[in-house]
Amino acid sequence: MSSVASGAIDHHHDSTTSTGISNKKLLMWIFLASDCMFFGCLISTHLIYRLHPPVGTPPASSIFSIELTSFSTFILLMSSLMMALAVNAIQKGNLKSMRASLVLTIICGLIFLGCQVFEFSEFVHVKHLTISNSILGTTFFTLTGTHGIHVLIGVIWLTTMLIYSYTGRLSEKDAIDVESMGLYWHFVDIVWIVIFTVVYLLEYI
Amino acid sequence: MSHSAVASQDHGTEHSKFELFVQIAMLLAVITGIEIVTVYLPFSHTALVTILMLSSTVKFLFVIFIFMHLRWDKPFCTVLFFIGMVLAGFTMWALLQVFSAQASIPLSSL
Amino acid sequence: MADAITKSGYTAHDEKITARSSLFYRPQAKTGLMSWLTTVDHKRIGFLYGVFALFFFLVGGVEALLIRIQLAVPNNNFLSAQQYNEMFTMHATTMIFLAIMPLSAAFFNFIMPLQIGARDVAFPRLNAFSLWVFLAGAIIVNLGWFLHDGAPNGGWFGYTPLTTRAFSPNHAIDMWVMGLQLLGVASIAASLNFITTIINMRAPGLTMMRLPVFTWMTLITAFLIVLSFPAITIALVELMMDRSFSTNFFEVSNGGMPILWTHLFWVFGHPEVYILILPGMGIISEILPTFSRKPLFGYPIVVFSGACIGFLGFGVWSHHMFTTGMGTVATAAFAMTTMAIAVPTGVKIFNWIGTIWGGHISMRTPMMFALGFIWLFMFGGFSGIMHSAAPADAQQHNSYFVVAHFHYVLIGGSLFALLAGIHYWFPLMFGRKVSEFWGKLSFWVIFIGFNTTFFPMHFLGLNGMPRRTFTYDPNMGWNNSNFIATIGAFILGVGVTIYFAVMVYTYFKGERVKNDPWDGRTLEWSLPNPVPEYNYRVIPVVHARDAFWYEKQHKEEIAAEHAKLEKAESAHGGIHMPFQSIYPFIASLGILIGGVGVATIDSNPDPKVIVGKKLTVCLIGLGIFLYGVYCWALEGNEGYHLHLDGHDSSDTKH
């Protein structure tokens, strides 16, 4: 825990801090720990109401579309890969390669959001599940919508960073900024991993 | 997780991380595929829930340790994140238990 | 010091930064309103937290006195039932979120970076943002007093379905929801900052097990805030969705369960209790060793039991809900964890007693408040442990016994500790000392007034008087105790008035003191008072747990070390200071406008008018917020370097 700098300069060590972890990364990890509680409570709400649904609730599997959700899950997974590659690229000082990866991440994020918009409108207009007409709609739309907002914020952040990389605001030295953003983006992905299992898949068994 | 590992990682094979990331992503995709198929298999309810929970935990761990670099970072980051994760998991478990107690189930859904 | 300030880029490429900086407004004012709005100095931010907290403390105090006037005699009609509901809701909300928490935050901000030998917190602008968002939340919660809808009146716990649209149709609850949401954002942002600061910005040699206990408790409190506020954020989001978009989270007719709110609220609410008390415990753990002239007894145990309380605090929430019928297993489990959490608390009490045991005690005002704390907090603890037995709790639930209990831990505990802390650190903050006579007088008046108010409430509760009742019949046997409690409340009010009148007087006219007036033990006392903007002329190296005490025992050694460190530091380009910034304030202003829009303005019912009044206000708020955030991001975290001339400045002695 002392501030003695180690010999090799690498992206996992910041000699100006007591622990060697850079401030931004540490802040992001604590924030993600906090966000765990955030989504934990939201997912709990959904599960509690799914375990004790009011009489006459239709089975959720008759509303969900497993094909669409599997596709968007795959897309989000690929965006996570692209994000990891972007972080890897800027840590090696390869700004060009990072830009390409960031663009792909953004595209994947947008496809995911598009899928969600399509899914929501399908549910509302075809399946007649709205946010106010049943408890299933209430918890489902609130949970996945909150996740969607996280994705949207991530896409805005990614786009901002991409623009910064052209204006010079973001250079090779700022790998930590991209890395922190990456942590956020991967977190959004792992939340979806949980949602995909407990909200969607469990409804089919 | 130590310094030497990090150093060798960076100075050693340049492409190793790139390939690792791609391999992990493929692995995650495969696990997801298996999950989707599992749902339709004629196993018992408990077995299916267990399989799904385990597989999503595996995916979760792969993402945080590989994509989010926890494996190469200081262990302290892992500790920090796990504080939140464990507390959240514990709170979820406790809430579900409390609401499943016989005395708590609303009469309308009995 | 202004002539000593020379500007230079923080990072390697200088010309680029100056080019970019010129795009942005760089406030430089060191005095006047602008200097306060743009400050990123943790001491000034701490001071502002303190000022706002004390203002709201007085507001909450007046609300409490109105409540006591109403209850002084049976069948009183001083307040209407509606006004009474507003009073107890706002009294609790104000005292918890707008008085005790920000007062603790004031100490976190002011003292913690000094104790770890840092020049500022890890993210100075985020710190300013936390302060202004806190103020925005405070304004929105209190806005109802000035509007037609009235102040929030659903209790500080906001139980559904009382707070749903069907039973609280006007905007009072919307304001409460929005205000609390913002206070949550502010607290989380501040806490993320504090955790990063404590973990990452310690002076060399300051290992975790050498941290002063107050800093340890800051760390644990910050963790509690970060991990418990998301629960209420979710609960408030769900309530807001129910109220604004007619969802069904708490709508029984559509399968919603109002008890879910209660659970989520207390998942937050119980850790919140420890958020309120742990800073106080930290302050006490600083004051007792100083005035007993002994190191803290069992330091590792005190730290460990603090962490233990923090962790267990997440597993006891349902003891607020024993009477809701959770089933035997859950009730038994939560009763057990509640009993368990008393153990580390008791351990701390014994450690404090061990600290003063055989010490060379000097009875100064901070020490008086600290000893009062131990005594009263123990009382609150005793009645608290009685609640942990579920069958007993079924009798005490929602009675004045509970009111007595939590006022003993919140006033007798948290507030006494904070008042002790103000006295203790006042010389460091302002270079003046409160007169011993007036300090001790205020202590005794507060102590007597407090006990006269709240001790009779134990009996009132056991005699069956329920909480939150706006009046009572004369034949219930509650008359005398209520009247005594009201008299006590006024004595307490007089005591608090003396306390703060003396503080204000001392701030302007008090006796000036030299450095280190209490013969302190921790690092902050090594600083000159008032503390210079850059805190430490030289970042110290810490050699022992009571760092400053060690320095005082090894003067030559430390002087030589300082000289060496100073040379090394000036070779590195002097002291780096962050630029002031207006953007955190602008971002918070946007949040305030948007928040007011969401909470208080009716949406336009006509679907043809696309830009309704509500939407316009919200979009303006969003626009200002985004402008603030983007400028904040773009201006970057640069700063300038301060070069101190070692010969002429008078504030350089250590």
- How many Å apart are CA C422 and CA C366, to the nearest integer? 8
The 10s digit of each residue's pLDDT in A94-128 is 899 999 999 999 999 999 999 999 999 999 999 99
A12 touching B, CB under 8 A?
yes
Length of chain B: 110
Of B83, B84, B101, which is closest to C326 when you measure between CB atoms?
B101
Residue C459 has pLDDT above 80, yes or no: yes
Q: Worst-scoring range by mean pLDDT, B66-70, C3-7, C82-86? A: C3-7
Residue C252, Cβ density class (10 Å: 0-12 exposed, 13-18 middle, ≥19 buried): middle
Topology (CATH) of C31-513: Cytochrome C Oxidase; Chain A (1.20.210)
> What's the CATH number for A23-204?
1.20.120.80
One-letter amino acid of C282: G
The 10s digit of each residue's pLDDT in C558-595 is 889 888 888 887 777 778 888 889 999 999 999 999 99
Q: pLDDT band at residue A13, thresholds of 50, 70 and 90?
A: low
| CA pseudo-torsion sign B16, B17, B19, B24 | positive
Q: pLDDT band at residue B108, thresholds of 50, 70 and 90?
A: low
Of C227, C231, C318, which is closest to B98 when you measure between CB atoms?
C318
As a whole number, mean pLDDT of residues A178-204 equals 94
Distance from the Cα of B103 to chain C's closest Cα (Å) equals 5
CA B105 to chain centre: 30
Tell me, what's the ipTM?
A: 0.92
- How many Å apart are CA C498 and CA C438, to the nearest integer? 8
- How many Å apart are CA C168 and CA C150, to the nearest integer? 11
Asked if the Cβ–Cβ distance from C226 to A34 is below 8 Å, we say yes
- How many Å apart are CA C438 and CA C503, to the nearest integer? 10
C192 touching B, CB under 8 A?
no
As a whole number, mean pLDDT of residues C449-458 equals 96
Residue B39, CB-side half-sphere exposure with 13 Å CA sphere: 17
Percent of chain B with pLDDT over 70: 80
C257 touching A, CB under 8 A?
yes
Q: Which residues of chain A neighbour C247 with C-beta distances below 8 Å? A: 131-132, 138, 142
Q: Which residues of chain C neighbour A33 with C-beta distances below 8 Å? A: 226-227
Asked if the Cβ–Cβ distance from C327 to B95 is below 8 Å, we say no
As a whole number, mean pLDDT of residues C148-167 equals 91
Query: C59-80: buried (b, 16+ CB within 10 Å) or exposed (e) per residue?
Result: bbbebbbbbbebbbeeeeeebe
CA C449 to chain centre: 24
Q: Could you tell me which of C324, C185, C329, C314 has the C-alpha nearest to residue C260?
A: C324
The 10s digit of each residue's pLDDT in C9-32 is 333 333 334 444 456 677 777 788
Q: pLDDT band at residue B29, thresholds of 50, 70 and 90?
A: very high
- How many Å apart are CA C357 and CA C353, to the nearest integer? 6
Distance from the Cα of B93 to chain C's closest Cα (Å) equals 11
Chain A nearest-CA residue for C264: A41
Tokens 């309308």, residue located: B108
Extract the tokens encoding C228: 């418990």
Asked if the Cβ–Cβ distance from B96 to A47 is below 8 Å, we say yes
